[in-house]
Chains A and B, each alone.
Chain A
Amino acid sequence: MTAKTATSASDSVSARAVAALSGVKSEPGITKPDEILVAENINRHFGGLVAVDVDRLSVQRASITALIGPNGAGKTTFFNVLAGFDTPDAGTWRYENHELRNKAAYKIAQLGMVRTFQLTKVLAKMTVLENMRLGAQRQLGERILAAPFPFAWSGQEEQVTERALTLLRRFNLYEKKDDFAGTMSGGQRKLLEMARALMTDPTMIMLDEPMAGVNPALTQSLLGHIKELREEGLTVLFIEHDMDAVRDISDWVVVMAQGRIIAEGPPASVMRDKAVIDAYLGAHHDEELTKSGESLTQNKKAKST
């Protein structure tokens, strides 16, 4: 019964998010009705290689936005720039009312915009629970002058632990809480990293391939977790290669190729977009085959049966 109410709640939130975006045109860089993050003219090159060249990106608050694109499209580099882990050659970006250019990564995280990494960065030599506690913000015991006096921070530590355990239960990691994070599998690390990012109590969470290396059964529960975040009012921006997952949970999809945003829109329509298909399969993928169009359809049939 609880599961049922949860689903219907999730459906209504999702419906609201979709409704909010329904009037928005599918056009790269288009302004969203309630934007939480806006990036403009972001440029990042490595030597001669232009990794990111984004004219404009606007992200709708309390929605799930997917950032997709072929390997090497510049998605991770773009994330790094937005979160302050890399300095762009040009560009400005704004989160809520904060100008983020020249802001240190830790300050951006403190403002409530928290990211995870494509290659997970769990702290292997700390226990799972300690990893989680590290995520909590404004801890008195993290100040060097208060740290030697446990009575000053032990109360807060208890609250932090409580919150950590609740999140660990939710991510099915409770049993592992006292293990070193280094003993966990790749998929479990993805889960821990996401749970740890949530410990910061973010407003917007940026996930770099949260589903990569996670087994299909776990993927389902991860997708569920991400939807729950939207219900709690969080904004989610995530990079993902798994198209089924993208179609399943995202309200809006942004497509990058060769550093540029080439298309954006609701998942169903974006995936039919010619530019998107070209970017994934190569612009000339059908030229050679025009004459032997039959063999292509035959192939498709063979696959579907």
Chain B
Amino acid sequence: MDWGQIFVISITAMVGSTTIIYALAALGLNIQFGYTGLLNFGQAGFAAIGAYSVAVVTATLGQSLWLSIFIGLIGAVIFGLILGIPTLRLRADYLAIVTIAAAEVIRQTVRSVSLNEYFGGSDGITGKYAREFYSFNPFDQAISWGPIQFNSAQASWITVVGWVLIGLIVLLTWLLVRSPWGRVVKSIREDENASRSLGKNVYFYKMQALILGGVVGSLAGIYWAIDAQSVQPDNYSSRFTFFAYTILILGGAARVFGPVVGSIIFWFILVFIGESLTQLVATGIIPDTILRSDQIGQVRFMLVGLALMLLIVYRPQGIFGDKRELALDDR
């Protein structure tokens, strides 16, 4: 057993790409669900639009990366409009149904055989299409900071950019939710009719929140596509959305830092449990008859599920949440 190595891997995961991707997705959900009460179950769809815009526009069409990012963001705006126009006037559950279905439509479209030449089918698209981004890399070797060790100069660069991006979105969220705009969306979350009776155009505000959160979600996909320099359709299944929701609730919905802290903790726990089990099995401390190495992937999710259950029982408001607000629901 090498606890030192497990620790380094887990700590590095805390700040790594996956944490950043899911923090971005959850930051988008926080604007939609946390503050406005919109049940967007299609965050994977927004992310897929971002990711595939990057890969298709650069690798398939040979255009500039910056253009592809722009198209990814515009694509998210259009997707938000398409989802929002028919559903945002209806009860909250309609948005949930439509978004989860629409995200799945996107995934099935990009992985379909007939569109193989554009989207690469179930294999997706892989290539060195993000060179433009990495040409700005100021690092000539992997950086390390305390126990955090990146394995390449490229990984160091994209991680730094990712955290700057998160910082900007957290700042924007913070500015928005403490403004009168934030007051309106919070009132919509609680009681739409109260906001309407005070002259607020509820539909318009919901649309703004859906699109803004969706654009942040598409940034998650854009980031992922640039980081991995490959896109795979099955990364954008509803599992992506549900991880993002788990992270949001873990950190505390409607808290500015909730999604970031949630993502850090979620991926730390997941990687820590995975690495520990791997070593325990490899060294024979846990015998093959109890757990085989190919079962670790599933078992770590079971343990994470258990941890989440404990959290919901003992700290239902999430790590950052305010318990007093939950109590107000009971009246």
Please choose the segment from B61-69, B177-185, B280-288 that sits at the chain A interface, where 4 or more of its residues have CB less than 8 A away.
Answer: B177-185
- 0 or 1 for each of A107-128: is its CB under 8 Å from B? (1 = yes): 1011000111100011111100
Q: Which residue in A125, A133, A150 is a CB contact (below 8 Å) of B190? A: A125
- Please, which residues of chain A bring their CB within 8 A of the CB of B186? 123, 125-126
Size band of the B side of the interface?
20 to 34
- Is the CB–CB distance between A106 and B324 below 8 Å? no
- Is the CB–CB distance between A126 and B187 below 8 Å? yes
B208 nearest in chain A by CB position: A144
- Is the CB–CB distance between A123 and B190 below 8 Å? yes
Q: B175 at the A/B interface (Cβ < 8 Å)?
A: yes
- Is the CB–CB distance between A134 and B183 below 8 Å? yes
- Is the CB–CB distance between A126 and B190 below 8 Å? yes
- Is the CB–CB distance between B180 and A144 below 8 Å? no
Known contacts A124-B331, A126-B190; A114/B182 CB under 8 A: no
Q: A19 at the A/B interface (Cβ < 8 Å)?
A: no
Q: Which residue in B175, B183, B193, B325 is a CB contact (below 8 Å) of A148? A: B175
- Is the CB–CB distance between B176 and A144 below 8 Å? yes
- Is the CB–CB distance between B181 and A144 below 8 Å? yes
Known contacts A106-B202, A109-B197, A148-B175; A183/B181 CB under 8 A: no
CA distance A196 to B194 in the complex (A): 10
- Please, which residues of chain B bring their CB within 8 A of the CB of A114? 197-199
- Is the CB–CB distance between B197 and A157 below 8 Å? no
Interface of B is mostly: helix
- Please, which residues of chain B bring their CB within 8 A of the CB of A70? none
- Is the CB–CB distance between A123 and B191 below 8 Å? yes
Q: B315 at the A/B interface (Cβ < 8 Å)?
A: no
- Please, which residues of chain A bring their CB within 8 A of the CB of B193? 85, 105, 117, 121
The A136-164 residues at the B interface (CB cut-off 8 A) are 137, 139-144, 147-150, 153, 157
- Please, which residues of chain A bring their CB within 8 A of the CB of B212? 144
Q: Which residue in B180, B181, B191, B197 is a CB contact (below 8 Å) of A133? A: B180
Q: B5 at the A/B interface (Cβ < 8 Å)?
A: no
- Is the CB–CB distance between A130 and B198 below 8 Å? no
- Is the CB–CB distance between A134 and B198 below 8 Å? yes
Please, how many residues of chain A have a CB less than 8 angstroms from a CB on the other chain? 42
CA distance A86 to B195 in the complex (A): 15
Q: Which residue in B180, B183, B199 is a CB contact (below 8 Å) of A200? A: B199
Q: B323 at the A/B interface (Cβ < 8 Å)?
A: no
- 0 or 1 for each of B1-30: is its CB under 8 Å from A? (1 = yes): 000000000000000000000000000000
Known contacts A106-B200, A109-B196; A142/B328 CB under 8 A: no
- Residue among A85, A104, A133, A134 with max Cβ neighbours from chain B (10 Å): A134
Q: A95 at the A/B interface (Cβ < 8 Å)?
A: no
Q: B144 at the A/B interface (Cβ < 8 Å)?
A: no
- 0 or 1 for each of B165-183: is its CB under 8 Å from A? (1 = yes): 0000000100110011111
The B202-244 residues at the A interface (CB cut-off 8 A) are 202, 208, 212
- Residue among A126, A130, A149 with max Cβ neighbours from chain B (10 Å): A126
- Is the CB–CB distance between A121 and B194 below 8 Å? yes
- Is the CB–CB distance between A150 and B179 below 8 Å? yes
The B298-331 residues at the A interface (CB cut-off 8 A) are 324-325, 328-329, 331
- Please, which residues of chain B bring their CB within 8 A of the CB of A147? 175-176, 179-182
Within the complex, what minimum Cβ distance (angstroms) separates B64 from chain A? 27
The A188-202 residues at the B interface (CB cut-off 8 A) are 196-197, 199-200
CA distance A113 to B279 in the complex (A): 69
Q: A255 at the A/B interface (Cβ < 8 Å)?
A: no
Q: B152 at the A/B interface (Cβ < 8 Å)?
A: no
- Is the CB–CB distance between A106 and B201 below 8 Å? yes
Q: A171 at the A/B interface (Cβ < 8 Å)?
A: no
- Is the CB–CB distance between A183 and B198 below 8 Å? no
Within the complex, what minimum Cβ distance (angstroms) separates A159 from chain B? 12
Within the complex, what minimum Cβ distance (angstroms) separates A125 from chain B? 5
- Is the CB–CB distance between A143 and B181 below 8 Å? yes
Within the complex, what minimum Cβ distance (angstroms) separates A126 from chain B? 7
Known contacts A123-B190, A124-B328, A183-B328; A141/B198 CB under 8 A: no
Within the complex, what minimum Cβ distance (angstroms) separates A237 from chain B? 14
- Is the CB–CB distance between B196 and A105 below 8 Å? yes
- Is the CB–CB distance between B199 and A109 below 8 Å? yes
Q: Which residue in A121, A137, A143 is a CB contact (below 8 Å) of B197? A: A121
Q: List 28 A-B contacts (CB under 8 A).
A: A85-B193, A104-B196, A104-B201, A106-B196, A106-B199, A109-B199, A114-B197, A122-B194, A123-B186, A124-B328, A126-B186, A133-B180, A134-B198, A134-B200, A135-B198, A137-B199, A139-B180, A141-B180, A142-B179, A142-B180, A144-B181, A147-B180, A148-B176, A157-B180, A183-B328, A196-B198, A197-B198, A200-B199
Interface residues of B (CB under 8 A from A): 172, 175-176, 179-184, 186-187, 190-191, 193-202, 208, 212, 324-325, 328-329, 331
Enumerate the 5 nearest inter-chain pairs by beta-carbon distance, A residue then B residue, closest first: A141-B180, A182-B328, A147-B181, A147-B179, A109-B199
Interface residues of A (CB under 8 A from B): 83, 85, 104-107, 109-110, 114-117, 121-126, 130, 133-135, 137, 139-144, 147-150, 153, 157, 180, 182-183, 196-197, 199-200
